[in-house]
Amino acid sequence: MVPVKDRKSAALYERASKVMVGGVSSPVRAFKSVGGTPKFIRRGKGSSMWDADGNRYVDYVCSWGALIHGHANPAVSASARAAMSSGTSFGAPTETEVRLAERVRRSMPSIEKVRFVNSGTEATMSALRVARGHTGRSILVKFEGCYHGHADPFLTKAGSGMATLDIPVSAGVTAGSVGDTVTLPFNDIEAVESEFRKEGDKIAAAIVEPVGGNMGVVLPADGFLPALRKACTDSGALLLFDEVITGFRVGPGGAQGLLGVEPDLTTLGKVIGGGFPVGAYGGRGEVMAEVAPEGPVYQAGTLSGSPVAMAAGLRALELLTKGGYRRLEEASAALQEGIESGAEKAGVALTTNRMGSMLGEFFCEGPVVDFTTASKTDTGAYGRYFWEMLGSGVYLPPSAFETAFVSLAHSDADVERTVSAAGKAFRAVKK
């Protein structure tokens, strides 16, 4: 492993820790699960980013999946600059948000109307309120290991940073806040059918990541999503797909387009903002008609529909082509195969799951099909692997329960370099 210079990052972390909680603005960035000092990033370009000490990394975090075109894509950046030159915020509607909404609707037929917000958490929180307002019911069904943002009703047995920090339920979340939340095992059709038989007439919505992306990557089992769709339809509950990660990441129609299951409501984020803060929720017209000013479900936001985020997001979606998705699939498949081969040669137990350009690595024997099996991963081994890869100039998620992302900026040479680094890292981990 090549030693990583960290003097400036360490100094910045020391300064940050005096004025920012944990020295970071989001928990996983603190490197608590892998140890060491977090890297403070100075700039990014294409598939790479550079930290404060000048270390260069091939980046597979990609702003947690948002940067499908890589860092500082010229066309996306130009669109953002043009929007900024006309004004950064108006608190009034703009043509750009109409165009982005039209683009989303064309790509995802289940979304007849959409509301833009500022984050994925805002989107899921609002969508749940709409579901409860539409159905007049209270119970929310969610699944272990699926993270839907940090609104109180969702913080039970969630993935993402809560899995990383081993927090089953956040402090400050009252029993009343989660009293109407029922958490079931992911991919368990029997558990779904049993719960809906018991409480179906009280369930407002079932929310799920159609492809789990916050416990590593966990794919839906055959029949799981169709069974969930049927249970919701039969009971009058709404099916809510959280596609904040998968939307436009795994394909132009999101996971629902690939898997052929249509939800009543969908939440989006990340890719649709082109690297700027964004979120959205949308669905069937009669359901979205519940939202103010058309209906009684209130939700508002000063910076919702930010002209800069809308412009960057629209350009990011315009740049996505069938050829681009083929390229992402080819590069991601080559990365997965190379990593698996390296682990096998080193005698390291590794299971990989992938959907398109989303890749999860689990240091355990497979299969990994839910949060219980994902939790068998050797987090200590992942931590050692993470630092070996970082020393070779490859930046992976600083958590064993997060997803690695490939962007259109990643070249064949980047993939080859990563596979080579992984082979060395696995040998070091084995020792």
Please say which residue of 318, 340, 372 terminates a domain: 318
Residue 69 domain flag = no
Mean predicted confidence (pLDDT) in 267-278: 98
Q: Which residues contact 31 (CB under 8 A, 6 or more apart)?
A: 37, 38, 398
* Residue 191 and residue 46 share a domain: no
Query: Crossing angle of helices 307-318/95-107, nearest 10°?
Result: 40
pTM of the model: 0.94
CA angle 298, 302, 307 (to 5 degrees): 120
Minimum mean pLDDT range among 2-16, 201-215, 250-264: 2-16
* Residue 293 and residue 197 share a domain: yes
Mean predicted confidence (pLDDT) in 278-301: 97
Q: State residue 307's pLDDT score.
A: 97
Range of 366's domain?
A: 7-60+321-430
Positions marked active-site: 147, 242, 270
* Residue 342 and residue 286 share a domain: no
Q: What is the mean pLDDT of the chain?
A: 94
Q: State residue 172's pLDDT score.
A: 74
| Residue (of 136, 168, 134, 135) closest to 154 by Cα position | 168
* Residue 262 and residue 113 share a domain: yes
Residue 163 pLDDT class (50, 70, 90 cuts): very low
Count Cα neighbours of 358 within 13 Å in the Cβ-side half-sphere: 29
Q: State residue 4's pLDDT score.
A: 66
* Residue 400 and residue 288 share a domain: no
Q: Is residue 162 over pLDDT 80?
A: no
Residue 348 domain flag = yes
| Residue (of 204, 50, 232) closest to 134 by Cα position | 204
The residue with tokens 């003097």 is 7
CATH, residue 172: 3.40.640.10
Are 58 and 418 spatial neighbours (Cβ–Cβ below 8 Å)?
A: yes
* Residue 213 and residue 94 share a domain: yes
* Residue 399 and residue 289 share a domain: no
* Residue 401 and residue 356 share a domain: yes
Please say which residue of 273, 299, 318 terminates a domain: 318
Are 270 and 247 spatial neighbours (Cβ–Cβ below 8 Å)?
A: yes
Q: Is residue 160 over pLDDT 50?
A: no
CATH, residue 406: 3.90.1150.10
Q: Which residues contact 131 (CB under 8 A, 6 or more apart)?
A: 140, 204, 205, 237, 238, 240, 264, 265, 287
Q: State residue 169's pLDDT score.
A: 65
Residue 89 has φ and ψ, to the nearest 5°, of -165, 140
Residue 109 domain flag = yes
Chain segment 223-251, per-residue pLDDT in tens: 999 999 999 999 999 999 999 999 999 99
* Residue 107 and residue 34 share a domain: no
* Residue 258 and residue 135 share a domain: yes
Please say which residue of 259, 286, 318 terminates a domain: 318
Q: State residue 342's pLDDT score.
A: 98
Total number of domains in the chain: 2
* Residue 335 and residue 288 share a domain: no
Residue 204 domain flag = yes
Mean predicted confidence (pLDDT) in 147-163: 71
* Residue 310 and residue 210 share a domain: yes
Q: State residue 155's pLDDT score.
A: 82
